[in-house]
Amino acid sequence: MDGTDERIRGRASVAVGAPEGGAAAATGTEASAPALSGKSAEERKRRLRRRLERLIGIAATEGNALVRLRNGDEIFPAMLESIRSAEHTVDMMTFVYWRGEIAREFAHALADRAREGVRVRLLLDGFGSRLIEKDLLGLMDEAGVQVAWFRKPLWLSPLKQNHRCHRKVLVVDETVAYTGGVGIAEEWCGDARDEKEWRDTHVQVRGPAVDGIAAAFAQNWAECSTVLFDERDRFVEHEPQGDAVVQVVRGSASFGWQDMQTLLRVVLETAQERVRLATAYFAPDPYFIELICATARRGVEVELLLPGPYTDQRVCQLAGQSHYEELLASGVRIWHYQPTMMHAKIVTVDGVASLVGSTNLNRRSMDHDEEVMLVVVDEDFTAQLDRDFDADVRDSVRITGVRWRRRSPAQRLREMSVLPIRRFL
């Protein structure tokens, strides 16, 4: 499997399952990347990097190599190959661990390494992974996999139950790490060819940024276990593996303003040419709606790529749609992805930087949950994600202001009905 594959699936855009109220078919033309001189690009990268380092307080690292992995056909083989080749440690955590053959394949791979003496730790969210098959837990436990649960609902106060671990992390031998939007379930298998194969993106990382991803695991493992590290942890020194600059930002499941909110705010306020956002769940609070609109009004091209007819959270989708009129009036372009569930969490900025990880543009990700996001200051990597965005747009329909304003009273009523619970979405 070549993880650097940059193919663009050139399927014709078809306006199937368009939302009530209407959507115009996508033209199928690719949006060109911002044309920047070398000096201008370097200045924009420097400015964004320094703003984020100072305002979030996490230093970016240099010398990283990243591989963009698109959909389950690329993501799962790469992750399983790393697990099966582990010699010392495997640390994995996920929000979703459900059912299906891929769930069994991961359980057997983790169990096999544990039997061979590799220290294997698996951290599951107590709510998101509640559907895992019980025989898989028994298999892993018997093999010596250390399985821990993050905040099982029955053990929590009502306040803690709403704050979940939404991070997806795999770290193998302290030298290679994975993060992104993918859960361990059959829904993520395949290549987004139909509604049963979700669209998502994961990233393989080598280099100093692995430590930041490992810290995201350690931060949550520390809450669930009395043993944070042991003799199998070698605390390796990282040699340069590539040229990418990466900052690892971790969001915390606590009260108050979070780093994820600062991250998005800085990106939107720093952008000069274009911001493209793909997200599975779009339901920001009024502050971020206004920030997105203000970004578009000052001349930045703002595009949102969101789920269309296929979504596993219709209530969240309705909450986001209640803001469409304001967004469209400000010049924001909104696309609804047609083939299947759009589950990726990606932002690209001015063709020079990108964000990818577990964070959605909703209140839950930015206010309530443990999240992890990579800020990648690298033009080549960002270009790959922009090409993916172009390909996804060709499989989407555009929501237009005129037709959206003419949506039915029933659609408007559904949008209004979810407003009382939007802070929990």
The Cα-based distances of 220 to 103, 178, 374 in angstroms read: 22, 16, 18
Give the mean pLDDT of 409-424.
69
d(CA 321, CA 283): 8
Q: What is the pLDDT of residue 235?
A: 97
Using an 8 Å Cβ cutoff, are 295 and 330 in contact? Answer: no
Alpha-carbon distance of 363 to 369, in angstroms, equals: 9
Cα distance between residue 354 and residue 277, in whole Å = 10
Residue 22 has pLDDT above 50, yes or no: no
Q: What is the DSSP letter of 370?
A: B
- Judged against a pLDDT cut of 80, whether residue 123 lies above it is answered with yes
User: What number is the average pLDDT over the span 324-349?
Assistant: 97
Does the structure show a pLDDT above 80 at 14?
A: no
Q: What are the angstrom distances between the C-alpha of 280 and each of 38, 310, 372?
A: 34, 10, 15
Whether 262 has a pLDDT exceeding 70, the answer reads yes
| Residues in CB range of 192: below 8 A, 6 or more apart | 71, 198, 199, 339, 340
> Does an H or E element contain 92, and which?
strand 89-94
The pTM score is 0.88
- The whole-number average pLDDT for the span 72-95 is 97
Choose between 257 and 198: higher pLDDT: 198
Q: How many helices (H) and strands (E) does the chain have?
A: 14, 18
Asked if residue 243 has pLDDT above 50, the reply is yes
Can you give the pLDDT at residue 367? 67
Greatest mean pLDDT among 35-39, 225-229, 295-299, 418-422 lies in: 295-299
Q: What's the pLDDT score for residue 405?
A: 80
- Secondary structure letter of residue 156 according to DSSP: S
Strand 301-307 and strand 274-278: pairing?
A: parallel
Handedness of CA 267, 269, 275, 279 (dihedral sign): positive
**Which residue from 386, 396, 395, 397 is spatially nearest to 201, judged by alpha carbons?**
386
pLDDT of residue 16 exceeding 60: no
297's CB contacts (< 8 A; 6+ apart) are: 330, 331
Give me 394's structure tokens: 């060709």
Looking at the DSSP bridge assignments, the partners of residue 275 are 302, 349
**pLDDT surpassing 80 at residue 121:** yes
d(C-alpha 215, C-alpha 142), whole Å: 27
Tell me: pLDDT of 97 over 80: yes
Residue 79 pLDDT > 90, yes or no?
yes
Given a cut of 70, is residue 28 above it in pLDDT?
A: no
Long-range pairs for 366-369: beta carbons < 8 A, 24 or more residues apart? 366/251, 366/258, 366/260, 366/261, 366/264, 366/284, 366/285, 366/288, 367/258, 367/261, 367/285, 367/423, 368/162, 368/163, 368/164, 368/253, 368/424, 369/163, 369/164, 369/165, 369/166, 369/251, 369/253
**Which region holds residue 249: left if phi is over 0, alpha if psi is between -120 and 50, else beta?**
beta
Cα(120)–Cα(397) distance, rounded to whole angstroms?
A: 44
Residues 124-162 have pLDDT tens digits of 988 788 889 999 999 999 999 999 998 877 655 666 666
Q: How far is CA 411 from the centre of its chain?
A: 28
How confident is residue 166, by pLDDT bands cut at 50, 70 and 90?
Answer: confident
- Residue in this structure with the two tokens 């003799």, named with its chain if needed: 231
| Cα distances (angstroms) measured from residue 221 to each of 86, 181, 228, 229 | 20, 20, 7, 10
Instruction: Kindly compute the dihedral angle of the four CA atoms of residues 424, 389, 249, 57, in this order, to the nearest 10 degrees.
Output: -110
Instruction: Tell me what percent of the residues of the chain surpass a pLDDT of 70.
Output: 85
Domains of the chain: residue spans and CATH: 24-424 (3.30.870.10)
Using pLDDT thresholds of 50, 70 and 90, give the confidence band for residue 32.
low
pLDDT of residue 366: 72
Does 10 have pLDDT greater than 70?
Answer: no
